[in-house]
Structure 1
């Protein structure tokens, strides 16, 4: 009773902790959401404020432009053109439109209609000056159009100049006020963010002390109980093992019988004299056994051949104590030969009461397959010998070509660069310091090219990365170098972090197989993206090479054994067999190719 009360109390405690945990998470989420909304709102406000400040500054520029145009038309131009008057009208209209948007707000420009008391007061003060300049400029333009006296225009110009300074001063105050209010908004936003940040930290601190810490203590107590239960379970298991040893002999017999019944489909029980006690349903169907033939012996049901029946009765008589296992052939009622892998196991039911358990496997198809394999092996012997000859000659040819290619690379590339290095060294004149420095810089670059050429040649022969660091590092280096040389995107992924070293023969074959697959993708598939993936399990290493090339018909290439592509795939299969591996090719014309190498890993 006490234990049940304790468990109920623990359940209630965990429920309370869970509620507090969800509440804390919800609080943090709400603070983050509120903070984000405030940040976005204030950012929008700041964008609007900066736009208003920009427009306010633009108003000053436009007012100065109006004054400039008026002065030009009055003092510089003898006669104002229609284009100049139109331009001044446009500037004046834009100035009035912007001033109206600033003062009364604008939905299209996102200017607020409501303003602070200071800004409203400043706009009231600037309004008469703005109107005076606008009206005077309009009157001036009207006089210019009507070509009235210069003396009257001079009064308009003086009026505009007198009010321009006051307008600029007032606009400066408005811009300053906008900037001040924007700064106050940013300061307020920073203060709110600090409060939200502090509140979030407080929630996390409370969560640690009132949720995580109590939960940790509960879990520690629970683990202690589990460890105690584990000790008790181990002791109980040990006691059970001692008891199981006493009954081991009888359990073995039951396991043998159970295994035979569960894992075979053809079985029956017979008496030592050969009469049938019970026969399985599948076995009965195979032998055409029915209740009408229940008085027959097992040998008579097994085969219709009298000689085979006699031999089987003798086998039962001789092996009923020791048992027997072997392959037999029987002739059924349809005169068809059936091969059976038969086991006869003696089972002691009671004292001096013996039964024989017959367990069979139908191996007729296997026998047929064996005979077919023997026939095919005989037919394919000559073909395989011819293939081996072709492969051997092709290997020699490839080795010769590879040697010629390397010799050509060394002669044409490294040899010529070394000759150039020699001539450049001989031509250095230490008296001419300027030219000597240029030649030395050239020699440095030439030396780097020679080193690169030597590394490339040695990398193609036997990459040092393979012997020093293993297959993973060498494949990564191979893809990286080929990507640089070809300009194609060749990537390598070690998906299962494989880091073991393998036998040197296995590693060099894996390296050459992968190199061949990548070269085929570059040379024949015309692919631009190649991905090499390495993964492994306890007993298998798998390498997959994918490309996005033009693909091919695997069946048609397999048939063309004499073609270059067909022989390349054949060499790949031959090489993978050297290390007891398997290769799988899957290609779709127009979509790409996947080649998979599976190599067993020896423990």
Structure 2
């Protein structure tokens, strides 16, 4: 009953919250709708005010244009031009008069109100005499011009128009200012109204949050808490059911295992939880050379005569007699032979408070011997690898030493001697002998350029600036160009796929050194005259190919001679490309040429 009452109360609470929520939504919708209607109304009102201000300002312009056109008409003598000017004045008078009456009396089509505030009424009353005078004088002047009469009267009419036009402009300025002020007041009033509507909407939202969303949130939290509690209870119930099912399944498995051991297993026995032998199979007893009729010894004593091994076995039985155990054991038999057993210990419940252990074993001695032999062979292979790495390391150190010696020779024999010559030449300059000094200075300039070139060459061999500044594409292009100049061989570079991206600096320097080594090998050993370096890439792979037309070599023969210079060179390339997760491919035909391809993931 309590549960039903609680459900009923929750239902009533949710119905109440739903009604309040709908009421809040309707209130917000009505507020937004009223706000939009008010905005549209005010926009239309502002549009009307804008049009009134525009027409009022236009009246000032029309009065000025009317005065200007009357003055022009007054001085025109040509009949054709006079007729055109009369038409223009007539149109101006008509438009000016129509706008004025619309402003004074209102106009539904233009949205001009008939009712005006007292100030505007007063301004229009003040303006009426000037407007009527201007209109009458302009109309009379126009009629006289049409009939070509009363020139003396026209002069007076022009003066009257000029006198009243300035007053008309002043009065219209006041009218325009009043219209502008009135429009500003409407905009201000609209802004305040909008703020009030916004405040009301925010208040509705706040109240909705306090009286709707907050209670709803509490109800949802309570509901989620109840659901989680129910879920935990369901999970616990499922776990309990699973445990019961697992226990039943284990019992069935144990019975099947026992039956299988009795029927098919060759090595098995039954022991008590304290390790005492209950029964041992005939095959098992023969393997460990034990009399099966002696059933008062511990399992460890049965398996091995070695006391240390017995303690290990007894500890395993003692620690795992409840949950079982599976693993490998190495024991010493009674004839002092090593025996490996894959042993499984399964607890079996006989009665409510009585259990025993079923031991099932497999002889894995031969397998262990095979594993040990594999480990021995792997160790030998590792030793060979280490020996090979030592050779590679020594060769790397040797190459580094040779490279350092070469750089030292370049600096000592080239740059050093030129610097010494520069020093002696500087010391031998006699400033008193200007002619010889000029010649020596020119020589010193050339010598300085040679020194700079030598320094650039040395630094290029160490680390080309193009590689660090612009990447592998520019560096390979510069390398092939420089080597072509230095060796006189035709060395060309092609970027087939316009690759111009930057890679990791470690990858770039290794690609550069590998390509440099491949080109140097083609120059040094292949006797080639043409070398082509090609760079291409895909979405995941960067490929560099070095082709030469040299004498080539037998790849299989070179790989067998690991201690030869060519064999070590190929090994170095493989080791270096593997360092950046790449691969190298060699393709060479004797007396035709060689192709080396480096593939690097990007």
TM-score norm. by structure 1 comes to: 0.41
Q: Find the structure with the greater CA-based Rg.
A: 2
TM-score norm. by structure 2 comes to: 0.41
